[in-house]
């Protein structure tokens, strides 16, 4: 069974972060520069939340606010309350969590320390690759 730790080992643990007192405009610019759909909100080395494109669309655009004069802490999904996983969480469990909670990004934490961030794309890609490996192994076994 594949785990979050294996995803991080493959993709790396590069994390894009912003501070809670940054404007939403500046945070969205960071997302655009790195072609990511979310940034983690950090106060020093403490995870305090996550800001996603969905937060931006629903809490800025649809409410007629301006990203240049709204701060990240005003619209982020705060932590605690943020759904996180541990390195040994299975890919299947991640899929279930993401489906039930309707989230696309999961911070990875162990003993209060942030280790990385995985996305729905990471999870699905890993799951598909794992299934292909199983099929190849079974096919190889059958045709021996």
Order of strands across the sheet that contains 38-43: 17-18, 38-43, 46-52, 77-78
**What's the first-to-final CA gap in the chain, in angstroms?**
25
Stretch 61-89: mean pLDDT, rounded?
A: 89
pLDDT at 41: 95
pLDDT at 130: 61
The alpha carbon dihedral of 74, 75, 76, 81 has a sign of positive
- Domain count of the fold of the chain: 1
Residue 76 is part of which domain span? 4-142
Give the CATH number of the domain where residue 38 resides: 3.10.580.10
pLDDT tens per residue, range 24-69: 999 999 999 998 989 999 998 889 999 998 889 888 888 888 888 9
Residue 115 has pLDDT above 70, yes or no: yes
Percent of the chain's residues with pLDDT above 90: 39
The alpha carbon dihedral of 119, 121, 123, 125 has a sign of negative
87: nearest Cα among 55, 53, 71, 110: 110
DSSP-derived secondary structure letter, 85: B
pLDDT tens per residue, range 5-23: 988 888 877 889 999 999 9
pLDDT tens per residue, range 118-137: 888 888 777 677 666 666 66
Assigned token pair, 113: 């320390």
């Amino acid at each position: 069974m594949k785990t979050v730790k294996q995803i991080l080992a493959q993709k790396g643990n590069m994390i894009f972060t912003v501070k809670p007192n940054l404007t939403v405009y500046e945070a969205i610019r960071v997302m655009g520069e790195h072609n990511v759909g979310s940034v983690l909100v950090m106060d020093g080395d403490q995870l305090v939340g996550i800001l996603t494109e969905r937060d931006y669309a629903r809490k800025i655009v649809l409410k007629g606010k301006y990203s240049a004069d709204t701060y990240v802490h005003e619209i982020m999904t705060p932590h605690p309350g943020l759904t996180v996983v541990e390195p040994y969480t299975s890919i299947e469990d991640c899929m279930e969590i993401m489906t039930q909670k309707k989230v696309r990004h999961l911070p990875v934490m162990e003993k209060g320390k942030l280790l990385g961030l995985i996305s729905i794309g990471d999870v699905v890609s890993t799951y598909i690759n794992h299934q292909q490996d199983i099929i190849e192994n079974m096919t190889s076994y059958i045709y021996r």
